[in-house]
């Protein structure tokens, strides 16, 4: 008589054959290249929109980071999770903010990305915008409900991280929003 499977054990994932691995690599290459025309039919045929590469980057993360708006739009329309973070805890929204891509940030927020979501370091998209002197994104994120008073895991505010990163424009912008002046 066989023992029942242990409820706490996890089955070993199947090893993918070389053809499948090559196909998957091709999908990630399509996304990096922004080839919406070839990606769309694959998604329509059931390609999972939340595939991840060896670094945990989802298809949406790669599309967002590389600025491929139409690819990101297709992925979201097929159910891609805008909150799916990579192995570093970064979300597509944080990648788009880092790149300063206003249309991508708008698309991701419209597609369900959490404006006040954080990575493991507790940094919000607003903090990232402040750190990299992205004044246009500060305005957009605040208009979409970003918390101006949030603090990261080390206890630093958005204004403090802007100052620490030497981001003069966003520091002044945040001071004005907070009713403070630098003396």
pLDDT digits (tens, 9 = 90+) for 70-84: 999 999 999 999 999
pLDDT level of residue 178 (50, 70, 90 thresholds) = very high
Report d(CA 55, CA 53) in Å as an integer.
5
Query: How much is the pLDDT for 6?
Result: 52
Instruction: For the chain, list the domains and their CATH numbers.
Output: 20-81 (1.25.40.20), 90-183 (1.25.40.20)
pLDDT digits (tens, 9 = 90+) for 26-54: 999 999 999 999 999 999 999 999 999 98
The average confidence (pLDDT) of the chain is: 91
Query: How much is the pLDDT for 163?
Result: 97
- 30 φ/ψ angles, rounded to the nearest 5 degrees: -60, -45
% of the chain with per-residue pLDDT over 90:
82
Report d(CA 147, CA 108) in Å as an integer.
17
pLDDT digits (tens, 9 = 90+) for 54-73: 899 999 999 999 999 999 99
What are the C-alpha distances in Å from 1 to residues 4, 6, 10, 35? 9, 15, 22, 54
Secondary structure element (H or E) that encloses residue 180, with its range? none
Whole-structure pTM value: 0.86
pLDDT digits (tens, 9 = 90+) for 133-143: 999 999 999 99
Instruction: Provide the CB-side half-sphere exposure for 107 (13 A, CA).
Output: 25
Residues 98 and 66 sit within 8 Å (Cβ to Cβ): no
What is the distance, to the nearest Å, from the Cα of residue 150 to the centroid of all Cα atoms in its chain?
A: 19
Packing angle of the helix pair 36-44, 18-33 (nearest 10 deg): 130
The residues, any chain, with a CB within 8 Å of residue 80's CB and separated by 6 or more, are: 49, 50, 58, 59, 60, 72, 111
Burial of 71 (0-12, 13-18, 19+ CB in 10 A): buried
The residues, any chain, with a CB within 8 Å of residue 143's CB and separated by 6 or more, are: none
């Amino acid at each position: 008589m066989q023992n029942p499977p242990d409820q706490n054990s996890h089955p070993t994932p199947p090893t993918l054959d070389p053809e499948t691995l090559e196909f998957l690599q091709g999908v990630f290459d399509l996304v990096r290249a922004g080839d919406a025309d070839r990606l769309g039919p694959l998604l329509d045929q059931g390609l999972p929109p939340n595939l991840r590469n060896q670094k945990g980057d989802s298809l949406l993360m790669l599309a967002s980071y590389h600025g491929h708006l139409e690819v990101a739009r297709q992925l979201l329309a097929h159910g891609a999770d805008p909150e799916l973070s990579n192995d570093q805890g970064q979300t597509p929204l944080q990648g788009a903010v880092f790149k300063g891509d206003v249309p991508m940030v708008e698309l991701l927020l419209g597609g369900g990305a959490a404006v006040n979501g954080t990575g493991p370091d507790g940094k919000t998209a607003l903090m990232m915008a402040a750190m990299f002197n992205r004044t246009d994104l500060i305005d957009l994120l605040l208009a979409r409900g970003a918390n101006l008073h949030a603090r990261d895991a080390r206890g630093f505010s958005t204004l403090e991280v802007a100052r620490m990163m030497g981001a003069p424009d966003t520091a002044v912008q945040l001071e004005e929003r907070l009713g403070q002046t630098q003396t």
